[in-house]
Amino acid sequence: MGISLAIYSVLNVGYGGGFERWLYETVSRFSARGYKITVITTKAGRVRDAKAKSRFLSLPNVNLVELNNADKPFTIPTDLRKFFKTLSDAELLYFNNAFAANELLAYLARKFKGLRVISGYLGTFHNVGGFARMAYHTSINLTVSRHFDAHHVLNKERLNWLKSLGYKNIYYIPPGVDLNKFRPIREKAETFTVLFVGRLEYQKGFDMLAEAIHVLNIRDREKIRFLICGDGSLATVAELLTSRYDNVHWKKWCEEKELIEMYSTSHITVAPSRYGYEEFLLVPLESMACGTPAVTTDIPGPREYVRNFYNGLRVPLDKEYIKYAIEFFKNIWYKNRELYFKYIKNALDTASAFDWNKVINKLDNMFRHVLCCTETQENSGYEHRPNI
């Protein structure tokens, strides 16, 4: 039997970030199971994926409501009456607890609409940002969030942090990867290829990768090439790289089919995100599903699945370490193919533990348990531990 579920996403569904991708994968699967789902968003954020809205609208049992929004002092809907009216038929509200003041809306929905509320931690974490942001989350957000019925986290560090604060009903369920789509579809290119996928922002560490590219291109430029897929405030850095080096190729947006091909033909995917800005990092896992090892920074999220000298490398955020990791894989590609193909096998084995077909059952159990049992039981939630 399906559940009447409302999911509130502050940014528009075409923003193209990790939460928006998680949202579509989740909604599409639950709509097929008979859930009645209302997705509430605002128009905030740049629309990077122009086709996202039509994909949501094509799903059965799904209603997409897009509201106008204010940007200052907080990014919240301007039509609050419509926001709360949209929740009238829902039994359960799930929201991404990453934007100040929106937890207050979720709290009011719980108090006056009688909804069960799950707080999801799928965005920039609360201990990152300026003084005002951290002070707000320390004083207001953490106090309000204690009243929610459950909490959903993507990594063990967030799980342990919320436990240390005395939170109950915490569900550790990392996101999944669609193994029917993300799989090896092409042979590896002969020239060693490094792939970066993501927003060209400080958060994603693209500046550090760019510095490493400059150093790596001093010598052996003909034996390496770089593919960049993404857009953002550091786009001028990508423009400089492509104008200076003929082995650097950049596209502002890649459709899923093209992205899978790039994952498959590349030799490593580099994701040098900064600490505190990520909760999981899906790109390295998608890369592994396509048979490509990953190089990431040593931060929460990648620690769940990137194992040094097994399916990739986790390194400090420093151009020299990033350069070392790239050269390590370049050397084994050219000098020890047998070892490189072991990395491919290990990457594929890792990705199989995060199959969406397994993850969606855990989310289903979480939703049903929150609806039936949170008033009568105190527990630490369900911990989905991938076997890797």
> pLDDT tens across 235-266, in order?
999 999 999 999 999 999 999 999 999 999 99
Question: pLDDT, tens digit, for every residue of 25-59?
Answer: 999 999 999 999 999 999 999 888 889 999 999 99
User: What phi, psi does 282 have (nearest 5°)?
Assistant: -80, -30
Question: pLDDT, tens digit, for every residue of 269-322?
Answer: 999 999 877 899 999 999 999 999 999 999 999 999 999 999 999 999 999 999
175: pLDDT strictly greater than 90: yes
Domains and CATH numbers, the chain: 4-176+356-373 (3.40.50.2000), 192-352 (3.40.50.2000)
Provide the β-strand partners of residue 65. 40
pLDDT for position 375:
53
Looking up tokens 């003041």 gives 101
> Distance (Å, rounded) from C-alpha 350 to C-alpha 153?
20
Percent of the chain with pLDDT over 90: 85
DSSP codes of every residue in 317-348: SSHHHHHHHHHHHHHHHHH-HHHHHHHHHHHH
Output the pTM of the full model. Answer: 0.92
Question: pLDDT, tens digit, for every residue of 266-284?
Answer: 999 999 999 877 899 999 9
Contacts of the segment 215-222: beta carbons below 8 A, 24+ positions apart: 215/319, 215/323, 216/323, 216/326, 216/327, 217/245, 217/247, 221/245, 221/247, 222/191, 222/247
pLDDT for position 379:
44
Residues whose CB falls within 8 Å of the CB of residue 101, separated by 6 or more in sequence, listed in order: 74, 75, 76
127: pLDDT strictly greater than 80: no
Residues whose CB falls within 8 Å of the CB of residue 72, separated by 6 or more in sequence, listed in order: none
Question: pLDDT, tens digit, for every residue of 347-376?
Answer: 999 999 999 999 999 999 999 999 998 653
229's enclosing H/E stretch is strand 224-229
